[in-house]
Chain A
Amino acid sequence: MLSDRPGREVPKDYREVITHLIDSQGWTYQKPRGGGYPQLRRADAAQPPVKVPKTPSSQRTFSNWLAEIRRKGGLWPPLRK
């Protein structure tokens, strides 16, 4: 399944993580259809998609979202070489 690319519909901090997960770990991103929230899904389809906040949000929201991404198997931060 082809992935959308994240744009201005999601805050910048989120965009950086989403782009990395798409390009390096095979995740797929889906822009909102009909007013819903964008969502991010791991290549392993057994994992449920994680919704992405649309508007600039607090640092706590970003932290909670990042923890959920890691819980679903996302590798972040990237390993340093």
Chain B
Amino acid sequence: MDWFSVHLAARAPAGSSSGTALDAAADVLMDLLAAHDGVVSAGHGGWDATVSVHADHAQSAAERGAALIEEKAAQAGFPGWPVVRVEAVRQDVLDAENERPTLPALVSAPEAAELLGVSAQRVHELAADHASFPEAVYELRTGKLWLRDAIITFGQRWERRPGRPRKVTAPVR
């Protein structure tokens, strides 16, 4: 048996949201789920709750956790809105996920240049001309931002040709 974190999301049918009432119900649900490591968020036409349950596998954890949350949510006074998501994840896996940054590492042209061992100007040339150069994920007024991992991967696959790029000259007639 392992501990699983079970998350359930319920959403209001169109046109039936009630923020203030949900806030009071959310406080009650926090009390009711406290013994199950419960966490609640509610408002704007929906609510979410997470609990921890002890189970043999993720599927039975999802069933038990969802049933527990739905029972306590009804007691707390939540309307019987449709459940739109149920997820179960083993607690140690969730802990590992929580330690990974949500936002991937980004780099601007000077940092990309450092990673590739070229000048910032060359990065701009590559971005404009090289078919395999990664797409920028953001384009700000101050310049482009790329995923750091994408630049590193490009650097590993890029077949560099030594020396200056050959000048393209017009044929002599």
A residues whose Cβ falls under 8 Å from a Cβ of B: 35-37, 45-51, 53, 57-58, 60-61, 63-68, 70-72, 74-79
Contact = CB atoms under 8 A, between A and B. Distances in A.
B58 interface: no
B40 interface: yes
Given A51-B39, A64-B5, A67-B7, A79 B50 contact: no
A19 to B, nearest CB: 17
B30 A63 contact: no
A64 to B, nearest CB: 4
Interface residues of B, number: 33
A60 B35 CA distance: 11
Residues of B contacting A: mostly:
mixed
Nearest to B98: A66
Nearest to B102: A75
B39 A65 contact: yes
Nearest to A70: B102
B48 A75 contact: no
Given A46-B44, A77-B101, A79-B103, A51 B95 contact: no
B42 interface: yes
Which 6 A-B pairs rank lowest in CB-CB distance, beginning with the nearest?
Answer: A48-B43, A61-B37, A60-B37, A36-B27, A50-B41, A64-B50
B66 interface: no
